[in-house]
Structure 1
Amino acid sequence: MWKSILVLFLFVILQSQSILKAQSVLADGDVYKFRVTSSQLYKLDYNDLLNLGINVSTLDPKKIQVFGNTGGMLPQENAAFRYNDLFENAIYIEGEEDGSFDTGDYILFYAQGAHKEYFDESDQLLKHEFNCYDDANFIYLKIGESDGKRITETEQIELAGNEISTFDDLHFYEEDEVYPMLESTGRRWFSFYYSSTQDSEHTFSIPGRIPSEKIKLTTAVLSKAESRATFTFSIDGSEVDTVSVAGTTPNKYYRQGYIVGKTMQAEGNYGETFTIGVNYNRPTSSAKGYLDYLSINTKRELKLYDNYVHFRSITSLNEEQVIYRIQGLEGNNAQIWDISNPLEPKSIPFSSSRFSDFPNGSLKEYIAFSGSSFPSPAFENKVVQQNIHGSSVPDFIILTHPNFLSEANRLADFRRMNDQLDVLVVTTEQVYNEFSSGRQDVTAIRDLVRYFYLQDQSKLKYLLLVGDGTYDFKNTLKESTFVPVYESRETLYPVNSFCSDDYFGMMDEHEGYWAETLDGEVDLDDMEIGVGRLPVSTLEETEAIVSKIIYYETQESLAGNWKKNILFVADDVDGNLHQEDADKLGVLTDSHFPHIDAKRLMLDDFEKTPTPSGSESKEAEAFLYRQIHDGVLIVNYNGHGNVAGWSAKRILTSSHIDTWTNLDRLPLMVTATCDFGRFDDPYVFSGAEKAILKSDGGAIALLTTTRPVFQISNYEINEVFIENVFELEKSGEMARLGDVMRKTKNEGIYSDNNRNFSLLGDPTLRLRFPKKQIQLTSINENSVSGENIVGALERVVLEGQVQVADAEVIRTDFNGELLLSVFSRKERQTKGIDSPVYPYETMDNVLFRGWVSVVDGEFEASFVVPKDIYYSEENLKISMYATTTGDQLEEVSGTFTDLKLGGTAQEPVIDDESPSIALFMEDDSFVEGSVVGSDSYMFAELEDNIGFNTSLIGVGHEMLLTLDDDSSWVVNDYFEASLDQPNKGTILFPLKGLEKGVHTLKLKVWDVGNNSAESTITFRVADNSEFVVENFKSYPNPISFSFQNPKLTFNHNQAGEDILVNVKILKMSGEVASKFETEISNAAAIVENLEWESQKLRPGVYILVANLMVKGTELNSQKVFKIIVGD
C-alpha cells in the first residue's frame, strides 16, 4: 500500500514540475550554451572556461552548474511527463575541494544527444528513435549564486550473483538525406536512394564485438513500384535475408509506396568490422527504392575502449543480482556511473574492476571510464538572460524566428495600442532554450502555449507564428524552416498526409498524440487556441506583411461598400458539384446573413477558349480580376486547383496575382481546393504565399489548403466557416480570424482533410466590416413595420437614420454620404459547357444604386423602380453603407429585407425621353483620340430626366460596353447615381490588357422606361513598357510679356504613376534662360494647368526642352518646341 502512495506522490510532483515554474533558470547568472551530438561523457577544463571569457581566477567552482534535459523528441501527448524548464544535471568537478578552479581542474558530465536509444521489451532489442527535428541536443553551463548539483556515490553492494563480462550494444545507420516524394509531404526522410545504382554498402566497426555472437539486423525499406520488389541483405558478401515489398497502383492521389520493416539474424564468424550490403531488386526501370535505416544489436566484451565504455546487459533482466566485471578499469581516477537517470548519474563504488547491482526488472545503463581525456562539447553562444516562465499570461503570443524579431515587436506594439491586447513576443531560440533543452521541436512550441493556457484558460486566445516552416526541418535542402510546422507521420499517401499548425492549439490533457491510422483517420482533437502563420523567409517580407496588416486596419483609403461583399467562385466540372456547393453557400449567406451581399462566379457562366493545354476562360479570369480590384471582403473558391492556381481553366494563376494592385481592397481568401496553400515545400512558392506576401496587394489573410482535399469535407468546413465568420460580436464587429478559424475547425471536422486548412495571416485581425447602425424608418411615408409593396415605374422614397448601436437613438453627430443599393432576385442558369445546365437564383440584381447625403444622422433617398422586373411578388433587399465626410472616418452599414416588389405601380412614372452620355477614357479631361496605357478605365457621365435601368431582367436592356465591335461587357453593376441626384450618375469600368493600337469604344445604356442612348469614342493604346507623351503644349504661345504664368498640358499612357518633369528654357544661343522641376503624383491621363514662370524672360524666341520620367523606372520622354515671348 505504501508503495502505491509513494508512486502517486512522486507522480504528482513530476506533473507539477512539468506544468508550472515561476522563473526560468536562464533569468539570471552567466549562461553558456553548448551543442552535443552524441550520448557520452563530456569535459570542460580550465582553458575551455578561460576561452569563454570567464574570470577563472575568481571563480568559485561550487557555483558551477550544468543544465539540460534528456535527448530525443519531446512526447506529443499532453499528459506525458516533460521537463518544463532546464533541469540541473549532477556533475563531477575535479579539484573543486580547494575552493578555486585551477589549471588541471575540469568538469565531467554525461549528456545525451538528439537521437533516443531505448529497450523494446516485446522484441528484446535495443532500438533507436531518430530525431526528425534536430541532430543535436544542448547543455547550459551556468555561473550563478547557487551551489551546483554534484554526483553522489551509492552505497557499496556486496558482490553476489552471476558475473557478466559482456554487454549488449546498439549501432545504427540513419541519416535524413533523401526525401521520397515529388510532391513532398510528411516528416519521414530516408538514408539512401537506389536510383542509377541498385546496391549500397555500409561498414560498421564495433571494437570488442564477440565473433561467436549473432548479429541482429533491423531495417526498414521503401519501394515505390507498380509490382512487388525485394531487397536483399548480406554481410561481407554472404546473403542474410530478403525483404519483400508490395506494389502500388499508379495514381498521384493513391499510396505511392510501402515501407516494410524486418529484423533478421546473421550467424557467422564476423569480425569487429563488417560490411552490410543492400541490393534493391528493381522490378521495372521506373521503380524506386529507399533505405530508411540499419540497426545492429550485438554483444561486446565489457572493457574500456580508449578509457571509456557505455554498457547495459539484457541478460541482467533475468537476474535478481549481478556482478559486472570491466576489463582495464584501473587507476585512482577510474569511475563507474549509473546513468539510468542520465540527468542525475550516481557514482558506484567498485573493487578489482567489479561491482554488483540489483536490476529490479529494469535495464540499467552505466558508463565506466578512467583518466580525463574526453571530448569537449561545441560552444554555441552565451545566452542572453531570458525568462519566458516568469512572464504573465498574455492574450496573444507572437512566436518569431530571431531574424524577424523587430517586425514581430512592431506588430505587437500595434496590437497593444490598437486592440489593448496583452502580447508576449518570444523567439524560437528562446522557446527551445526553456522548453526543449535548445533543440528544435514542434512540441516545444505547443508546450509553450500550454504552459500559459493552464495558468488561465480564459485569457490566452491567439498564437501567431512568424516564419516559414517546411518538411525540411533540418534545412538539408536549403534554409527554409524558420518556425517549424507539424508534419504528419504519413508520408506516402498524399490524401492522408498533412501539415498543420492546429497542433499548437490543442491544449486538453487527453490530446496531443494525434494518432494516425493506416486508412488515413486521425484523432480529431479540437483547438482551444486560434493559430495563424506569416510564412515569411526574409526580414523584407516580414516588414511588408506587418505593414500591410497595420495599413488594412488603419487606413481611411480602404473605406468603401466593398466590405459588405463576398464572392463565391466555383469550378465547372464534376457534374456541377462545385457550382452547387457555391450556390448553397450563397443561399446560406443570403438567408442567414443578409447584412452581407453575396455574389457568385460560376465558371460555366463564361465562354471557354481551346488551347493546346486545354480550354481556358479569359472572360472568367477578367471577371475575377475586376471583382478583386473593385473589392470583396471575402473571396471563396471551391473546385480543382494546385499550388499555382484555380481550375484547369486557369481563372487564377500565380502570374495573375503578380498583377494585383489592390492594397486598398484586400480580401480574405478561402480556398477549398488542392494544394493552393502548400507553404511547407522549400522549392515551391504557392499562390497562397504569393497572395499573403505581396506588398502592394494580394490578400490580407487566407484560410487555405496545404494538401489534396475532398469536396465533401470542403463543403462542410466552408459551411461552418460562413456561419462563424458572419456571426457578429456584441460590439458589432466581426470575430477575430483566430476565433473564426478555431470554431470552424472544431465544428467542421470531417476527417484529417480539414487539418489541411491553415490560416495564413494574423489570428487577431478582424475583417473591416462596417458596424450595423443604419435603420430605415419609412417607405413612401409609411412605417417600415407595416407591409410595404412597390411596383414597376413607381417612385420610391426611403427615409432612415444612423442610430446608436442596439438603441433607437439618432446619431446626430453623423454627417456624411450613404450608398444605397436595392437588389431583387435574378433567375440564372449556367451554359452547360463542361457540366449539365445548372439553374440557380441570386439576390444581386441591382434595381438602383446611388449616393445620398446624411445630415445629423438622417437621410432621404428616392428612385424609380425600372420597368424590367419579375412581376410576381418577391422581397427586395436594401443594402446600405455610409461614411462620414469629416476629419475622422467612420463607416456604418445596414440592411432591410421587408420591402416587397410586384406588379406595376398604380401611378407609374412616365418616361419617354432618352438619356445622354458623356464618354471618356480615364477621366473627363480625355480628348478624342488620345493615348492611354494598356491597363486603363472607361469613364462615363450619364444623365436622364428620371433615372437609369440597371436591372438585368429585361433581355437586351443591359448597360453594354463594346470594344471594337468585338468584345463586350455588361457594366450595370458599375453604375452609381450621383449624390442626391438619382437621375444622374457615373460608370467607371476597368479595361485590362488592351492591345497596342487604335480602338473604338461604344457604350449603350437604358433608362427606367427602356429608352436607350449610346456614345462612341476612339483612343490609342501605347505599350506600358513605353512612355508615350502626346499633345505637349505650352499656352498661350506666343506669351504676352504681361501674361502672368503660362501653363503646360499633355496626355500620356502612364496614368496613376508619379511623373517627374524637368523643363529648361534655352536662348537661341543655347544658354539656359530659365528652368524648373516638379513631380506630378498619381498623374491623370491628361495633365493640365502645370504652371511655369516666364516673367524673367525678355521678348524673343526660345527653345523649351521638357524631360519627363516615370518615377522609379527608366521610362522617359523628351519634348522640344519653340516659344515666343512678346512685348
Structure 2
Amino acid sequence: MNAYDRQGYYFLTERTDEPALVETITPASVPYTLYPHTSSLDYFWHEQELASPALMGKQLLGETIGKDYIKIDYYLPNLSDPSITVLTSGAAKVTASSYLETFVHSGGNRQDMNYSLGSSKVVPPTNNFVYYSCASPCKSLTLTTPAERGQLEIGFWSPNGNVVSAYLDYFIITYQHHNIINAEDGNQVRMGYAHPTDTDVVKLPQVAPTVMVWDVTDPATPKQMLLSDPDDEGSRTFVPGVNSRYAQFVAFDPALTLKKISGYKEIENQNLHGMETPDLLIVTNKVFLEQANRLARLHEQVDGIQVAVVEQEQVFNEFSSGCMDAMAVRLLCKMLYDRNSNKFKNLLMFGPGTFDNRGMLGGKVDNMLINFETDNSEEEDYSFTTDDFFGLLADNAGANVASGKLHIGVGRITCRDVDEAKSDVDKLVKYIGNPDYGTWRNNLMIISDQFDQELHMFQAERVAESLEVNLGTQMNVNKVYCSLFPRAANEPVVPNQEDHRTAKEGRRYWEKMSKQGQYFASYIGHAGHAGFTKVAHMWTMEDVQKTSYEHMPIWTTACCDVARYDGPNRGVAEVMFHKPDGGGIAMLTSSRQAYATDNDVLNRAFINAMFSFKQNGSMPTLGEAYKACKLHFAGTNYNKMSFFLLGDPAIQVNYPKPFFKITSINGTELATDTVPVYPLQEVTVNAQVMTADGASINTEFTGDAYVTLYDYKAFYDTVRNQYSSTDTIPRAVFYDRTRLAEVKGRVQNGLFTGKFIVPRNTTANGRTGLIRVYAHQDGTPNMVNGQTEQVRICTFLPSQAINDEQPPVIESMFINDEATFADGHTIQPDGVLYIHATDDFAFNTQNNSVGNGVSLMLDGGNTTYLNINNYLECSEEGKTIDVAMPLAGLTEGMHTLSFNVYDVAGNKASKSISFVVTPTAQAQLTADDMMAIAGQTTSFDFTTELRSTPEVTVKVTDNNGRLVWSDTTTSFPLTWDLKDNAGNAVPAGAYRYFATFNDGSIYGGTAPQRLIVLAPAKTNK
C-alpha cells in the first residue's frame, strides 16, 4: 500500500513520438508438458487501517481485539484445493509473553492454525516508549471441509500475564483456484505460479476468443502472452516460457466490462523541470500559497536571494505521476541540486504535517503538507518524522535515512490554518524586514534543568564556556540554571518527587531575561509536551501563552519531544514558535523522545556552526547550521532524527563581530593596567572599531553604540560530569553579573567615547567588574562588540563622587501621538506609551535596583509594569532616556499612569497622565500588508460596527511617536504613497498606524499596528 495516498494515478497526454506498446511474447520451440495447469495461486487479503496506538509512523493497525476473539469473513472464489496457507499479522501490548492465535471456520468446522510459539509470540515492552509488539506467523493447513466462504477467528492468548491492548494488522490466505474468468471479479482472473518452467502450459477453460493474457510479474512492463486457438471445448492455452521463482499473470476479456477508473480531471500545463535553480525552495499547500509568496518576497527584498514557491500538487504531478509521495519532493530537490549545488542551499516546507498523510483516521488533511514517516510505528527510539529525507541528495542516497548525509538546509513552518500562516509570516517580516539592532542582539540565554547529578548544568556550562571562549563571541551570556535559584518554601512539593518544589524564582528570571531580549537561547535538560524541566515546572505551557516580549530569540532545545508536529496535539516548543508576541523566531527542537548525551552533542554542533565567525570569517543561514549539526554524526544515529528545524532555514545568522576594542578607561590605557572606578564616579570609556585583520581602525564604521558596566561575578559551585569517564574536567559555575549602568552613544569613523556614572549601590567591594561595548553600523546589518575585565569596582570614595542635587526632568509623556494627546484623552484598550526625560548627570538604569530605579504604575499601583526597563533607552552619556512601550488590554474607563525615575544620585522625578479607554470592537484599521516596499504604495481599509462610516483620521507615527503622515477621509480604501506630510519619501524602517474617528455621537480610535517599510530589493546573488 502507498503510505502517502489512497489512490494511484496515471497521466494521459498527447505526444508526437511513438507510443509504448505491450510486447507480445512468442514462446521458444521446446517440448511442452502434456498436462496443462488448469488452476493457479490466488490470495485473499484483509486489512483495515483504523488505529495508530502511538500516533506515529506509517503503519496503521486494524480491528481492536478484546478479550473475545474477533471473527472476519473471507472469500476464496473457485477454490480448487483444500490446502491453504494463512499469514496472520497482529500487534499487542502485553505484560508477559503472549501468543497470536488463529482459527479457520470452514464448512461448519473450526480448525486451529497451530502457529509455532516462536513465530506467534509478542513480548512485553522493554520501556515506556515501546507501544506494542508484532507477530506475523504463517502456516499451511488442509481444510477438512473446504468451502469458498468462511471466517478467521483471531486473538491473543497470554498464559502468564495480561493483554493490555491488541489489534489485527492484516491477514492473507493463499489458495489454489480454477482459472475461470468471472463477471463478479471484473471479468478477469489472477494466476500465480511458483517455480514455473519453460515447458509448462496453462489452460483457460471455455473462454471467449477475445480473451487476452498478460504477464504482470513486473507490473511496470507487462507482456502479452500468445494464446493458442480454441479447442473443441473453447479452451485456450499459453506457455509462460520462463524458469523463475515466481510468475504472475492476469487473464481478461477486453470485450466485456472491466474495472474502471474512479475519476479524472484535467491538469493545467506546468513545467517545474524548466524552473531556474533558486537559493531557497518553498514547498507549500495551495491553502498557504499567498503567505508563502509573501515570505518569498520578503527574502528577495531584504536578502537579495532567489526564491521559488511551488505547490505540492504540482510537485506530485511532475515527479510522482500525480500521486502524493514524499519521494516526489526529494526528486525535485535532487534535480535542482544537481543543476547548481552551489546555489540551491535551503528548503522550507511551509505547512503542517501529520503521521497519517492519507487521513485514514479521520483527521483533516486538506491543509496538510507531506512529511516523511518511518515504517516503524511501535518503538519511539526508531520511529521518527523528518524533512531531512528531502535533503539527502547524493546519488543512490536515502536507503537509510538515519545515516544519510544532508546536502541542503531544511526547515518547516507548521502553520495549521491561513490566519496562523499570516501571523507566522508577519513575525518574520518584523524580524527580517526591520531588525532592531539594540543591545538584545548581544545577549545569549542558556537554561538548564536540575537532576541527573547536575549533568544538565554541566552541559549548559560547557555550552556557555564554548560561546565565551572557544567561539569568542564576547556576547553577554545569561544563565538560567534551575539549581541557581531557591525554591519558595510555601510552594507545594511536587507529587512523587524528593522534596523538589516549583522553581518560581527561576521562572521569574527566565521571564525577565526573555523580556530583556535575547538573540539566542538554549534549553538543556528534561522536557515534555506541557513544559520544560522535569519536576520544577520552570517554564510551562501556561507561561509560554501568557508571556509576551518584543525580541524573538533563535532557540535550541536539547531535550525530549516538545514539538511533535505530526501528532494531534502541539507541544510547548511549537506553541512558542507560533506565538505572535513571544516564544522564538526559529527552533532546533525535538519531535520525539531523545537522550541527553547525543542531545548535547547535536546542540553543541549546531551552536558551533551558528557561531562560527571566529573560525571561518562568515555567518551561515540557519539551514546551513542545521545541515552542519546533522553532518556532525558519522554512521547511523537515530537520536539526531528526533530533531528538526522549526522555522525558516533562510534566516541569516547575524550577531556582533568581536572587532570593538576598548582602549582606555578614564584615560588609562588597558594594555597593562586594571583601572579602579568608584560609586558615583563619572567614567569615560574609549574604544575603536577595528578592521577584520585587527591591524587598523575601520574608519568607515559610524553608528549607534552602547557601553555597559557590570558588577563582579559571584561563585556558585563546581560541577562535574558523573556519567563520563573521559569528560572529567570540572567546571566552575558563577551567577550572572548585575548590570550597573548602560548608556547609548555614537561611533564616528571607527572611534567611540562613552561616559557613564557608576551607581551608588554595588556589591563588588574592590573586585573585578566587566565593561562591554556594542555598536551597529548605520544602514547595514553589521554589528561589533568588545569587552574587558580590566576594571576594578572599588568602595565608595567621596572625593571621586559627583555632586548632584538636581532631579531629572520628564519632558514628555503621551500615548500614541504627541501632537493630539492631552490629559483626559480617549484611547483604545491597546496603545503605545512614549516618555522622554533628561538629567544633568545620568539616570539610574541598574537592572537590580531596589526602590530608586524606573517604575510605571497604573491607577496608583493596581498594575505595575515591571518590564518597563526593557523598553527604555538611555543616551547622551546617560543624561536622556526614551521609552516606547506597548500597552495592551486596558480596561474601559478612566485611568491614570504614573511614571517615576531616579538619577544615579537618588534624585527623583515623577509624572502622571490621565486618559479614558473606550469600548473595544468599534472599528478596525488594517493595511493591505504589514510589509511595504519603498517607492511603492500601501493602502488602508477601515471597518466599523457603526451604522455609517464616520469621518476617519489615519495617522502614521515613527518609533518615537512623532507624526509622519496623516489624512482624513470618509472613503476607503485609502492609499498612502509612503511619503511624509512634507512630501518626502519615508526611510525604510518600522512605523505604527492607527485611526481616530467621530460620527457626531461616538468618538473612538483603533489600536496601533505595525507597518514595515522595506528598502528596494538587493541585487540577486
TM-score by length of 2: 0.76
SS at match of 2:604: helix
Tell me how far apart the structure 2 counterparts of residues 580 and 998 of structure 1 sit (CA, whole Å): 49
Which residue does the alignment assign to 2:338? 454
Q: 1:315 to 1:179 in 2, by over 3 A?
A: same
**1:598 Cα deviation from its structure 2 partner:** 1.3
Which residue does the alignment assign to 2:713? 826
Q: Which amino acid in structure 1 is aligned with residue 877 of structure 2?
A: Q
SS at match of 2:464: helix
**2:422 matches 1:543:** yes
Deviations 1:173-206 (A, max 9, x none): 112221122xx222221011125x6332222212
Q: Indicate conservation of the 8 Å contact 1:185/1:471, yes or no.
A: yes
Which residue does the alignment assign to 1:850? 743
Q: Which amino acid in structure 2 is aligned with residue 231 of structure 1?
A: L
Which residue does the alignment assign to 1:897? 788
Q: 1:933 to 1:808 in 2, by over 3 A?
A: farther
Q: Indicate conservation of the 8 Å contact 2:666/2:684, yes or no.
A: yes
Q: Which amino acid in structure 2 is aligned with residue 595 of structure 1?
A: Q
Q: Which amino acid in structure 2 is aligned with residue 484 of structure 1?
A: I
Which residue does the alignment assign to 1:191? 62
Q: 1:380 to 1:765 in 2, by over 3 A?
A: farther
Tell me how far apart the structure 2 counterparts of residues 760 and 419 of structure 1 sit (CA, whole Å): 20
Q: 1:840 to 1:1024 in 2, by over 3 A?
A: farther
Which residue does the alignment assign to 1:1118? none
Which residue does the alignment assign to 2:324? 440
CA RMSD of aligned residues (A): 4.8
Which residue does the alignment assign to 1:166? 39
State percent identity of aligned pairs. 20
Tell me how far apart the structure 2 counterparts of residues 1060 and 831 of structure 1 sit (CA, whole Å): 61
Q: 1:831 to 1:611 in 2, by over 3 A?
A: farther
Which residue does the alignment assign to 1:367? 250
Q: Which amino acid in structure 2 is aligned with residue 278 of structure 1?
A: I
Tell me how far apart the structure 2 counterparts of residues 565 and 845 of structure 1 sit (CA, whole Å): 14
Q: Which amino acid in structure 2 is aligned with residue 565 of structure 1?
A: N
Q: Which amino acid in structure 1 is aligned with residue 707 of structure 2?
A: L
Q: Which amino acid in structure 2 is aligned with residue 897 of structure 1?
A: T
Alignment of 1:552-591 (within 5 A): 552-555=431-434, 558-591=436-469
SS at match of 2:239: strand
Choose the corresponding residue for 1:688, options 550, 573, 590: 573
Choose the corresponding residue for 2:188, options 294, 308, 316: 308
Q: 1:1062 to 1:340 in 2, by over 3 A?
A: closer
Choose the corresponding residue for 2:72, options 193, 202, 214: 202
Choose the corresponding residue for 2:774, options 880, 902, 914: 880
**2:407 matches 1:528:** yes
Deviations 1:811-846 (A, max 9, x none): 6666553222233542154999xx9xx972256432
Rg comparison, structure with higher value: 1
**1:465 Cα deviation from its structure 2 partner:** 1.0
Which residue does the alignment assign to 1:296? 173
SS at match of 1:169: strand
Alignment of 1:269-418 (within 5 A): 269-281=145-157, 287-306=164-183, 307-316=187-196, 319-331=197-209, 333-351=210-228, 352=230, 353-373=236-256, 374-418=258-302
Which residue does the alignment assign to 1:73? none
Tell me how far apart the structure 2 counterparts of residues 847 and 258 of structure 1 sit (CA, whole Å): 60
Which residue does the alignment assign to 2:1016? none
Tell me how far apart the structure 1 counterparts of residues 810 and 487 of structure 2 sit (CA, whole Å): 28
Q: Which amino acid in structure 2 is aligned with residue 628 of structure 1?
A: S
Q: Indicate conservation of the 8 Å contact 1:960/1:971, yes or no.
A: no
Which residue does the alignment assign to 1:594? 473
Which residue does the alignment assign to 2:139? 264
Tell me how far apart the structure 1 counterparts of residues 451 and 899 of structure 2 sit (CA, whole Å): 35
Choose the corresponding residue for 2:354, options 470, 474, 478: 470
Tell me how far apart the structure 2 counterparts of residues 408 and 973 of structure 1 sit (CA, whole Å): 36
Q: Indicate conservation of the 8 Å contact 1:1062/1:1078, yes or no.
A: no
SS at match of 1:241: coil
Q: Indicate conservation of the 8 Å contact 1:468/1:482, yes or no.
A: yes
**1:294 Cα deviation from its structure 2 partner:** 0.3
Q: Which amino acid in structure 2 is aligned with residue 483 of structure 1?
A: L
Q: Indicate conservation of the 8 Å contact 2:51/2:61, yes or no.
A: yes
Alignment of 1:758-907 (within 5 A): 758-769=644-655, 774-781=660-667, 787=673, 789-792=675-678, 795-802=682-689, 816-827=703-714, 829=716, 840-842=733-735, 844-865=737-758, 868=762, 870=764, 874=768, 876-882=770-776, 884=778, 888=779, 892-897=783-788, 899-901=790-792
**1:160 Cα deviation from its structure 2 partner:** 1.0
Tell me how far apart the structure 2 counterparts of residues 1002 and 554 of structure 1 sit (CA, whole Å): 32
Q: Indicate conservation of the 8 Å contact 1:1059/1:1083, yes or no.
A: no
**1:571 Cα deviation from its structure 2 partner:** 2.8
Q: How many residues align?
A: 901
Deviations 1:265-286 (A, max 9, x none): 2221321222111134478787
**1:659 Cα deviation from its structure 2 partner:** 4.2
Q: 1:1021 to 1:573 in 2, by over 3 A?
A: farther
Ranges in structure 1 where 5+ consecutive residues have no aligned partner: 1-114, 116-130, 516-522, 1029-1057, 1064-1074, 1094-1103, 1114-1127
Tell me how far apart the structure 2 counterparts of residues 280 and 438 of structure 1 sit (CA, whole Å): 41
Alignment of 1:1040-1119 (within 5 A): 1078=953, 1107-1109=1002-1004, 1111=1006
Q: Which amino acid in structure 2 is aligned with residue 207 of structure 1?
A: P
Q: 1:919 to 1:281 in 2, by over 3 A?
A: farther
Tell me how far apart the structure 2 counterparts of residues 367 and 246 of structure 1 sit (CA, whole Å): 38
Q: Indicate conservation of the 8 Å contact 2:516/2:870, yes or no.
A: no
Q: Which amino acid in structure 1 is aligned with residue 440 of structure 2?
A: W
**1:506 Cα deviation from its structure 2 partner:** 2.0
Q: Indicate conservation of the 8 Å contact 1:934/1:1024, yes or no.
A: no
Q: Which amino acid in structure 1 is aligned with residue 562 of structure 2?
A: F
Q: Indicate conservation of the 8 Å contact 2:302/2:432, yes or no.
A: no
Q: 1:364 to 1:733 in 2, by over 3 A?
A: same
**2:890 matches 1:980:** no
**2:180 matches 1:180:** no
Tell me how far apart the structure 2 counterparts of residues 485 and 855 of structure 1 sit (CA, whole Å): 51
Deviations 1:923-944 (A, max 9, x none): 699999x999899999896857
TM-score by length of 1: 0.70
Q: Indicate conservation of the 8 Å contact 2:715/2:732, yes or no.
A: yes
Q: Indicate conservation of the 8 Å contact 1:199/1:277, yes or no.
A: yes
Q: Which amino acid in structure 1 is aligned with residue 589 of structure 2?
A: T
Tell me how far apart the structure 2 counterparts of residues 298 and 919 of structure 1 sit (CA, whole Å): 93
Q: Which amino acid in structure 2 is aligned with residue 302 of structure 1?
A: N
Which residue does the alignment assign to 1:950? 846
**1:676 Cα deviation from its structure 2 partner:** 1.5
Alignment of 1:246-265 (within 5 A): 246=122, 248=124, 253-265=128-140
Which residue does the alignment assign to 1:224? 93
Q: Indicate conservation of the 8 Å contact 1:998/1:1018, yes or no.
A: no
**1:708 Cα deviation from its structure 2 partner:** 1.7
Tell me how far apart the structure 1 counterparts of residues 336 and 845 of structure 2 sit (CA, whole Å): 60
Q: 1:455 to 1:610 in 2, by over 3 A?
A: same
**1:786 Cα deviation from its structure 2 partner:** 5.3
Which residue does the alignment assign to 2:556? 670
Q: 1:552 to 1:1083 in 2, by over 3 A?
A: closer
Q: 1:980 to 1:1083 in 2, by over 3 A?
A: closer
Tell me how far apart the structure 2 counterparts of residues 995 and 710 of structure 1 sit (CA, whole Å): 47
Tell me how far apart the structure 1 counterparts of residues 4 and 560 of structure 2 sit (CA, whole Å): 27
Deviations 1:586-618 (A, max 9, x none): 222222333322112233415446359765455
